[in-house]
Amino acid sequence: PYICGTLIDESADSEDITATIVDLAIRGYLKITEVKKKSLFSDAEFLFTKTDIYKTKDKYGLNAFEEDVLAKMFDGENEVSTEGLKKSFSSDSLKLKNSVYDEIVELNYFFTNPQTVRQVWLTIGVIALFTVNIPLGIMCLIFGKFMPRKTEKGVEAKIQILGLKKFLSSQERQLTFQEENWFLF
């Protein structure tokens, strides 16, 4: 999920890390339990618990990033709440995002780190504005976020991801019809 999210918007977001946590729960490495319901003034609170698969160190199928996410989430504990994650995990999120960028470059989806490319163009734009080259500064600031360049492999992967998303969204009506009429396979 974190690679797909980063390929789509060229940015490693907190949503990508959250999607990875949910994916790890689906694959059985942790269990997510709702502890407190969401009220008008507070968010819902969840409890994350290590499962037997994680405890026995049977990490078949986990890559380095997923292992880092789990290690930073639990930090030696067997359970952690969302309240506990807000305090400890937020400081580690920048490191995790940087490791996502390193991995997508290593997997040959981007030529260079997209975040670094955006920062270079932002710096050029700010310098141009300070040197009173206003058109160049404005252009760099506006178009700098679109400057990260994918490799051919990265473009093909993004097309496949968007194609799958479009297919799944187009099937919603058909699946709803099958659910209502019991035509499930």
pLDDT tens, position by position, 97-124: 999 999 999 999 999 999 999 999 999 9
| Sheet with 30-36, edge to edge strand ranges | 30-36, 45-50, 79-81
DSSP letter string over 170-181?
HTHHHHHHHHHH
Residue 176 has pLDDT above 60, yes or no: yes
Joined tokens for residue 175: 């699946």
pLDDT at 77: 84
pLDDT at 55: 64
Residue 160 has pLDDT above 70, yes or no: yes
Q: Which residues contact 172 (CB under 8 A, 6 or more apart)?
A: none
75 Rama sector, left if φ>0, alpha if ψ -120 to 50, beta otherwise: left
Residue 59 has pLDDT above 90, yes or no: no
pLDDT band of 136, cuts 50, 70, 90 = very high
Mean pLDDT of 19-28: 91
Give the 3-state secondary structure of residue 32.
Answer: strand
- Tokens 């690679």 belong to which residue? 3
Residues, the chain, total? 185
CB atoms within 10 A of CB 97: 19
Least confident segment among 77-81, 118-122, 153-157: 77-81
pLDDT at 162: 94
